Amino acid sequence: MLSFRIRRYFNKKYTTILFDLDGTLTDPKTGITKSVAYALKSFGIEIKDLDSLCKFIGPPLRVSFRDYYGFSEKDCVKAIEKYREYFRETGLFENKVYPGIENLLKNLKQSGRNLFVATSKPTVFAVRIIEHFNLLRYFNYVAGSELDGSRDSKSDVIKFALQENGLTDLTNVVMVGDREHDVIGAKENNIDVIGVLYGYGDRTELEKAGATYVVETVEELNELLMCKTELDYNGQ
């Protein structure tokens, strides 16, 4: 399949927008990396450089502990339990909203768009974070995983969000996220996806996964979703 980039005026109005949480709405770097380091320490693994754990931001924890440290399913469960010991009390709030995000959400809501959160993070934690930053008022619904580890793939979370809200016409539905898991999950549910570069993925990762569009900043995302811009289209 050939992939090429062209310039065209963007005039498609997305009326339903699903947002990833970590790396898209908020920057959770400090809280997540400290929580992972805390969990790894219980296995005798000392982490000196927290930045080396940024790869945990985005994918399901179970997948990350398995892929990056070779943990068995049993050890993944234990690691996630230790992770949550730190995260639920402290790491949850070692987080910050990206500059411009609240203004973006406000603009979209005022223009009549339906906004949702679709995250691999457990719903109970996602809601607490969104409430903490006073952003819950902008969203119709928050979809996440379960604490028992079920529904943690982004594809399953997106499917759940669509089904729970009776969204069957996907023509004007789009997913916004910063990692390949967001792109893959959106494509598996037959919806467009916008990759953002201000989070923890890069252009190569997002384009290789098949992002419909890739934007560099929150400002570009605002212009795209408000139909105010001409930008590169990743035609396939």
pLDDT category of residue 227 using cuts at 50, 70 and 90: confident
For the chain, residues classed under CATH 3.40.50.1000 are 4-28+96-235
Q: Is the pLDDT of residue 7 over 60?
A: no
Long-range Cβ contact pairs of 166-173 (< 8 A, separation 24 or more): 167/16, 172/12, 172/13, 172/14, 172/15, 172/16, 173/14, 173/15, 173/16, 173/17, 173/18
Residue-wise pLDDT tens digits, 36-68: 999 999 999 999 999 999 999 988 899 999 999
Distance CA 103, CA 88 (A): 28
pLDDT at 59: 86
Q: Give the CATH fold of the 29-93 domain.
A: DNA polymerase; domain 1 (1.10.150)
Q: Is the pLDDT of residue 3 over 90?
A: no
Q: Which of 125, 190, 194, 189 is nearest to 157 (CA)?
A: 189
Q: Is residue 156 among the annotated active site residues?
A: no
Instruction: Reply yes or no on whether the pLDDT at 95 is more than 90.
Output: yes
Q: For domain 4-28+96-235, give its CATH number from 1.10.3720.10, 3.90.1150.10, 3.40.50.1000, 3.40.50.300.
A: 3.40.50.1000
What predicted TM-score, i.e. pTM, was given to this entire model?
A: 0.88
Q: How far is CA 228 from the centre of its chain?
A: 24
| Residue-level pLDDT at 60 | 87
